[in-house]
Chains A and B, each alone.
Chain A
Amino acid sequence: MNARVDFAVMQPVECVRARPLLGTLVEIAASGKDADCVQLAISDAFEVVERIHNLMSYQADDSDIALINRTGFTHDVTVDEQTWQVLAMSEKLAAASNGLFDITIAPTLTKLGFLPKQVGMPRISGQGNWRHISLRVDNKVRLTRQLRIDVSGIAKGYAVDRALAALQSAGMLTGRVSAGGDLRVFGDIEQTIHVRHPIVATQLMPVVALTNGAAATSAGYFTHRRYQGRWVTPLINPHTRIAAGMNRSVTVLAEDCMTADALTKVVHADPALAMPILEQFNARAIMLEADMATGTCKFFDTAGVNAAGMQG
């Protein structure tokens, strides 16, 4: 620890850690005045993520989400304030995108093998969508049809936001939280965001610089699987229930990570329709589309088209 004393006077200490949470690796970095306080802040931030994981896991038996899926049609389910915030934002985005973002696609994900089949859950009609989730007073949630909801398309972004807030309130100078493609930073640092080539996932491409903002990337390279002879990704168009193919990677930049995370699904579902929605949320999208035949990659960016787009 002698080294710490020597350097601490001159410059802040940065620590980076990673833990498996939210079904992915969550990485948290922060800098502060000494290693002990930075490690403590990072531990607290991980606890914030772990709590959100436990509240919103689809797989866990006792999460708010599991409770809604099991009993939400017959009873009001009172959820935690954090779950409420995610459900409220989900509703807002679903309304703004006319259902291109929809947390009720879980049955399709189960059919494709991305989510486990669960025993003891009520049968679903298959006709429901986001409009059949009713958010009532006092954090009470009710399903007006038998549905299966899954917030994994937005909760990771929310967890990143909350973890970053924990680092900020612990007095860190800079902070960075990333969780499987969702990333947010604060402090006097510029971060270059790299995304993966949609087909050659080991190839990293620097696409944009980020300061004090959030970025989320969705693509199928690590999550794709084979279903009825076709490669599919867990990126479902809620209107057609068709899974996006593998050749596209979408990165959305926004002020917060929850918005960015959810908007990647809207862009995947329909890039052309996504434009006014991105504008509404003051977000910018960057899309890489690989041409399977030539192996080249086209680069699309809404900055410039979108006057209200964020200045990276």
Chain B
Amino acid sequence: MNNLDRWLLVPAFIIPAAVTAPAFAVQYMNVEQAQKVLFPNAEKFDGQVITLTAEQKAAIAERSGVRVRSSELKVWVASHAGKPIGWVLLDEVYGKHEFITYAVAIGVDGTVKGVEILDYRETHGSEVNNAKWRAQFVGKKSGDALKLDEDIKNISGATLSCKHLADGVKRLLATYAVVLK
């Protein structure tokens, strides 16, 4: 006997195998908004694109233990009252399932002041708005369960491990030490 039999006393139904795999994506903020929350006191952000040389890339990889894929780096110097107070570095990381754009704030002391996610996208799957897929839930269960939401934002169990992100921050700290310091 299955010890779950007691649970089956309630209305239970069977959800068919995946017909579509919806993608999940959120845009949290743009670069300007990220700059503002990372350095609220800054009056000015001066942007530049830094092109890493092969030697610099090797040095960053050596220092961080993380592979450097991109040779281009977008950086802003934040300043307050004419003095630099830190850097904002824009970067992206991707893993098997996700693609994340994020910004890291590094203070003049070389420590991380903050990390903000700009975009989070899951790379597999198609559309959440597939009517056929959604229709299978309608009317299956009364009451509070299975109400559909136009805007899916509450995925319990949504997020992936942050390993790629942690590696990315490590790589940017090394980039700071090699290129910006």
Contacts and interface: CB of A to CB of B under 8 A. Distances in A.
A133 B159 CA distance: 31
A112 interface: no
A298 B14 contact: yes
A20 B162 contact: yes
Interface string B114-146: 111100101011001000000001000001111
Interface string A12-48: 0000111110011101010000000001000100000
B18 to A, nearest CB: 4
Given A24-B161, A304-B10, A181 B26 contact: no
Contacts of A210: 154
B22 interface: yes
A58 to B, nearest CB: 15
Nearest to B161: A222
Interface string A187-229: 0001111111100111111111110000111110111000000
B158 interface: yes
A210 B147 CA distance: 10
Interface residues of B, number: 59
Interface in B101-124: 102, 114-117, 120, 122, 124
A85 interface: no
Contact of A301 (B12, B26, B120): B12
B166 interface: yes
B49 interface: no
A208 B7 contact: no
A312 B146 CA distance: 11
Interface stretch (A93-101, A146-154, A289-297): A289-297
Interface bin, chain A: 35 or more
B9 A305 contact: yes
Contacts of A190: 147
B148 interface: yes
Given A17-B28, A222-B160, A251-B156, A206 B10 contact: no
A192 B160 contact: no
Interface of B: 3-4, 6-18, 20-24, 26, 28-29, 36-37, 40, 97, 102, 114-117, 120, 122, 124-125, 128, 137, 143-149, 152-162, 165-166, 169
